[in-house]
Copies of this chain bind each other. A is one copy, B any other.
Amino acid sequence: MADLSRRAFLGTGTAMGLGAMLAPAAEAKPYDPMPAKWDEEVDVLIVGSGFAGLAAALEAKKKNANVVVLEKMRTLGGNSIINGGIMAVPGSPMQKKNGIKDTPELLAEDMLREGQGLNDPNKVRTLVNQALPTWQWTRDELGVEWNMDHLVQEGGHSVPRCAITGNGSGSAIVTKQIAKCKELGIPLRTRVFMETIIRDTDGRVKGLKVREGYKFRDNTSGRVKYIRAKKGVILCYGGFGADVAYRMHQDPKLTDKFQTTNQPGATSEGWREANRIGCQIIQADWIQCGPWNNPDEKGMGIALYFAQSAAAMFGIWVNCATGKRFVDELANRKVRADAVINAANKGQLCIAVANKEGIEMMQQIHHNILAKQLERGVVYEFPTLKAMAEKFNIPEAALQKTVDEYNAGLKAGKDPLNRYINKDCKPMVNGPWYCSKLSPKVHHCMGGILTDMKGRALDCTNDKPIPGLYAAGESTGGVHGAVRLGSCAVLDCLVNGRICDQAVMDEA
């Protein structure tokens, strides 16, 4: 640091906001030619039919707006319909029933801590305060069935606070949202692709150029139509987890080697179009991957229960090229996923390893799951460690040394990689031995469009709302920061989707 002292003698600027600086200049400059005529006129146009889009639609309709929802895929629901169906609800009846003390403030603390302070504290506050009333809304107004007895506790949450839908899937919410939309006469149009957000010379978003009868991945397919949105356009198009080129701009190590848990339509066209018309895309490089996923099954799969509940807690994770452990197996998802990804990008396979005792611990939680894992071929069984080393080309002596050092660490009460030592951990000695391949899958995009507290997209030139443009859900950034906690996606989408009914109040 010897080079730094000289800077001390040069004055540096006092920090300043932009307001002062750009006050008189700057009005929205990008604009598009208006269509010769609009083919259709509505009050509110919503792009995307997941939790957020449908929530926005229902609220806008309640305020008597003429609303239309557009979905580029053949089916409604986006990623939401394959979501895990849990929602963080501090103060729920289930918490009361189970004697769990919780507050919105405690959830906010959890979100900000895990988000590494990259999330907007005001947005977090709205989310936690609206959690209970929003959950009640899903139950009372939409008729969503919730498990009224049990809760789950996801990583990063201080207490069990995640309400579970009756069928354990986000589809329990989405199908009720769709039914309500239909009941209220809100058109939900599939295979309609947003090609252009039409922003006029006055800076206002006036509507969309779309393609009806669109075939996914053929951007010249379908019939062009111009739809005017008199009140506003609400962008709820979700994340880009399935779009390798775009995600590699944000994080170059997420190559096409890595799968995604997302539906195929989770691509970047909406992100690019929002950028083009002057939105600010923030924090798009925070892309959540599950570190424990397995490349030989689709989606979330079942190997992860082995990798986490057997190997990470009671076994080890090993780089096959070296025979060594490579990360604290209980570090956060980001740290672990990055470690596996970086190895994979060097051509090195990482595996999760456990023996008999680890399997027993796993099956205490996930009853009899081993049989299914073996049957699907995502967990392998070996009589000896040597046999495992041979199968995966692991340097055998190095692997044995790794196990010995891990065992010695257990005995000494100090793990070589400083991993937390669970009291039930036992030295790994007896076979059979088990392992699963590790290959993180892209799961959630934390970043996105910068919006204000009313869901209005902010112009990059002056931080003022772009008139007529709103956004909610995974298409936005700043709510979750570095890490989106499990059960906070549903919360984000529903709360912020509903807030976008502000569009109805918009001056056209």
Within 8 A of B (CB), among A302-358: 302, 304-305, 308, 338, 341-342, 345
The size of the chain A interface, using a CB distance under 8 A, is 111
Question: Taking A15-B244, A246-B18 as contacts, is the C-beta distance between A8 and B117 under 8 angstroms?
Answer: no
Query: A275 — which chain B residues lie within 8 A by C-beta?
Result: 275, 278, 280, 460-461
Question: Taking A263-B13, A272-B461, A284-B282 as contacts, is the C-beta distance between A3 and B252 under 8 angstroms?
Answer: no
State the copy count for this chain.
Answer: 2
Residue of B121, B195, B299 touching A252 (CB-CB under 8 A): B121
Residue of B8, B196, B259, B265 touching A298 (CB-CB under 8 A): B8
Complex Cα distance A20/B118, Å? 34
Residue of B84, B260, B265, B338 touching A3 (CB-CB under 8 A): B84
A3 touches B152 (CB 8 A): yes
Complex Cα distance A84/B9, Å? 12
A429 at the interface (CB under 8 A from B): no
A364 at the interface (CB under 8 A from B): no
Query: A99 — which chain B residues lie within 8 A by C-beta?
Result: none
Smallest CB separation, A231 vs chain B (Å): 24
B302 touches A8 (CB 8 A): yes
A-B pairs with beta carbons under 8 Å apart, 19 shown: A2-B366, A5-B300, A6-B85, A7-B300, A7-B301, A8-B298, A8-B300, A9-B299, A12-B82, A12-B242, A12-B259, A21-B217, A116-B338, A117-B338, A120-B252, A249-B282, A249-B450, A252-B478, A285-B285
Q: Which 10 A-B pairs have the closest CB atoms?
A: A13-B264, A3-B84, A7-B300, A117-B253, A275-B460, A18-B245, A25-B219, A17-B245, A4-B300, A7-B299
Write the residues of chain A forming the contact surface with B, with a CB cutoff of 8 angstroms.
1-26, 29-30, 32, 82, 84-86, 116-121, 152, 154, 162, 164, 168-169, 195-196, 217, 219-220, 242-246, 249-253, 256, 258-269, 272-273, 275-278, 280-286, 297-302, 304-305, 308, 338, 341-342, 345, 366, 414, 418, 441, 447, 450, 460-463, 478, 486
